[in-house]
Structure 1
Amino acid sequence: MSTLIIGCGYLGIRVARRMMAAGHRVFATTRSRDRAELLAREGMEPILADVLIPESLDDLPAVERALYCVGYDRSCGAPIDRVYVDGLRHTIGRLASRAKRLIYASSTGVYGDLGGDWVDEETPADPQTESGRACLRAEHLLTEFAKLSMYPVTILRYSGLYGPGRLMRREALRSGQPIAADPESYLNLVHIDDAASAAVLALRTPKPGPRYLVSDDRPVLRREFYELLAEALGGPAPTFTEASGDGPIRGNASKRISNHRIKSELGWTLDFPDVTTGIPASLAAE
């Protein structure tokens, strides 16, 4: 069995490791020769490709399934809409003739502020950030292509990924800087290891559903998250200030993501059901 991972970064490399551990052949794209060497040392078959350069995608291999998890790298110099939408447009036509089906990593950022209400797969998307709007435009592009071509696609909408090396505002907490966010609004997260296991399940399930929300079992108030993280870091208790600019949405938007469907349909289980176990494990792994 073979898998292609387009965008083998923080999420993709963990998915690749799990697929290889199960004996699967894994191809992985990267824009960097240095990273290609790292992927090769881990046993993957790297492909130098950039979704913003269409001709670099001409040599994508034929595989059973593909995972598209291209994140936004601000250092690339391109606007987020170009990376998410144009990059996907450049890729999907080539991919559809070479992979039998596709899993696409999106974001729960496609939802806006719901005042703390629960969100599931049927909740209408209403993005209120630039990144959320770019994600939704990419999803629309993909679903229209899938509908016209009858190409099987599953979208995984991820809550915020955290884990070793990726813990929000850690330096600000250590130095005692105030956090620009509403401490009484809800935050939705998923540990990177659980995020990877969700993608693996979707890849290995012959006919997964069209869309799943991937989040841990318990949305937490921002106050709780930052208090737990500050304590684990040995820093001062967090303080909060009003968000500004794009921050009122990012820091104050409140919703609770339900993971019921992916657990019931795909049998997803979590190693880290909430941040009380995920934060200590992340720090220990570093």
Structure 2
Amino acid sequence: MQVVVLGCGYVGIELGRQLTQAGHEVVGVRRSDAGLDAIEAAGFEAVRADLTDAASLAAVPDADWAVYAASAGGRDVDAARTAYVDGLRTVVETLGDRPSPPDRLVYTSSTGVYGDHGGDWVDESTTPDPATDRQRVLLEAERIALEGTADRGIDGTVVRFGGLYGPDRYRLDRYLDGPVTAGYLNSIHRDDAAGVVAHVLTADVARGEVILAVDDDPVWKPEFADWLAEQCDVSPPEKRTVEERAAAEGSVSRRVRASKRCANDRLHELGYELRYPTVREGFRPAIEAFRAD
């Protein structure tokens, strides 16, 4: 199949590698020189385009499948709206109105759209309750991915990633230095995030379906921090409840207060096998590198 990965960055480049290795023809789309160089270094074709500019998207070739994996970076709401809502709408309208539109489009979203559930379990049937303006933007983009695609006869799917980690994004100091705020950590390794999208493209997924992409074990952050400290032979970090952090800092955001456990039963039903079932396997390279230093 011919696949175009729009916003081909941290997850998209790994997705392109996996799809290329599986025999698909992949094109990665970025607008920066550094982004284009990274795509080419990964071994597949790079095309320059601005996802918010319909004229610019003329450079993007027709494809059987499209993946929208753009990232806004940081937490600025305006940047998020431009990247997720404006860009996705432009892509859906531009590619969808072509004589040969893609058959499938996968949009990569976030489990952050669920907001706070007091540590309870959530899954695809749980109604989203975004905790921040940025998360509300993500949910708005999901509607475009599902409804905007349907209007053009494209099968739209949303994959909600847990917290991404992996090469260059382990952030060990966040847990080893502390303080660590209580709450659940719902994670997925970069390689599995890419693997899930690749799997969803070929799996028997209903039009308009939403799928959670998280590993098997939502971990309690203080326990995970203590485990990391033990593995790295350092002292356990300071721990704080949300209330203690609020007292120390004056307030904490709704995002920090949000705690939930994300279930991945649907992912297993679709037959995906995680490369890193928990963060304990996934963080092993970072632990080994830390100990080597």
TM-score, normalised via structure 2 length? 0.87
Percent identical pairs in the alignment equals 36
Q: Please state how far the C-alpha of 1:284 moved relative to its aligned partner.
A: 4.8
Match of 1:220 in 2: 219
Match of 1:8 in 2: 8
**Contact map agreement 1:164 1:285 (CA 8 A) in 2:** no
Q: Please state how far the C-alpha of 1:188 moved relative to its aligned partner.
A: 0.6
Once superposed, which parts of structure 1, at least 4 consecutive aligned residues long, lie more than 6 Å away? none
SS of the aligned residue for 2:259 comes to coil
Pairs within 5 Å for 1:1-286: 1-74=1-74, 79-96=79-96, 97=98, 98-168=101-171, 170-174=172-176, 176-179=177-180, 181=181, 183=182, 185-205=183-203, 207-208=205-206, 210-241=209-240, 242-243=245-246, 247-264=252-269, 266-284=270-288
- Change in 2 beyond 3 A, CA 1:56/1:78: farther
Aligned partners of 1:249, 1:223: CA distance in 2, in Å?
19
- Change in 2 beyond 3 A, CA 1:83/1:115: same
Q: Please state how far the C-alpha of 1:193 moved relative to its aligned partner.
A: 1.4
Q: Please state how far the C-alpha of 1:64 moved relative to its aligned partner.
A: 1.2
Q: Which amino acid aligns with 2:274?
A: L
Q: Please state how far the C-alpha of 1:77 moved relative to its aligned partner.
A: 10
Q: Please state how far the C-alpha of 1:285 moved relative to its aligned partner.
A: 7.9
**Contact map agreement 1:202 1:208 (CA 8 A) in 2:** no
- Change in 2 beyond 3 A, CA 1:52/1:225: farther
Q: Please state how far the C-alpha of 1:109 moved relative to its aligned partner.
A: 0.7
RMSD of equivalent CA atoms: 2.4
Moved more, 131-140 or 222-231: 222-231
Aligned partners of 2:7, 2:85: CA distance in 1, in Å?
14
Structure 2: gaps spanning 5 or more residues = none
Q: Which amino acid aligns with 1:45?
A: E
Q: Which amino acid aligns with 2:39?
A: L
**Contact map agreement 1:218 1:273 (CA 8 A) in 2:** yes
Aligned partners of 1:35, 1:245: CA distance in 2, in Å?
39
- Change in 2 beyond 3 A, CA 1:31/1:283: farther
Q: Which amino acid aligns with 1:140?
A: R
Number of equivalent positions = 280
TM-score, normalised via structure 1 length? 0.89
Give per-residue Cα distances to partners, 1:75-134, cap 9 Å, x unaligned.
Answer: 999522222111111111122233221011111111011111111111001000232111
Moved more, 113-122 or 199-208: 199-208
- Change in 2 beyond 3 A, CA 1:235/1:9: farther
**Contact map agreement 2:145 2:157 (CA 8 A) in 1:** no
- Change in 2 beyond 3 A, CA 1:75/1:146: closer
SS of the aligned residue for 2:10 comes to coil
Q: Please state how far the C-alpha of 1:249 moved relative to its aligned partner.
A: 2.7
**Contact map agreement 1:8 1:29 (CA 8 A) in 2:** yes
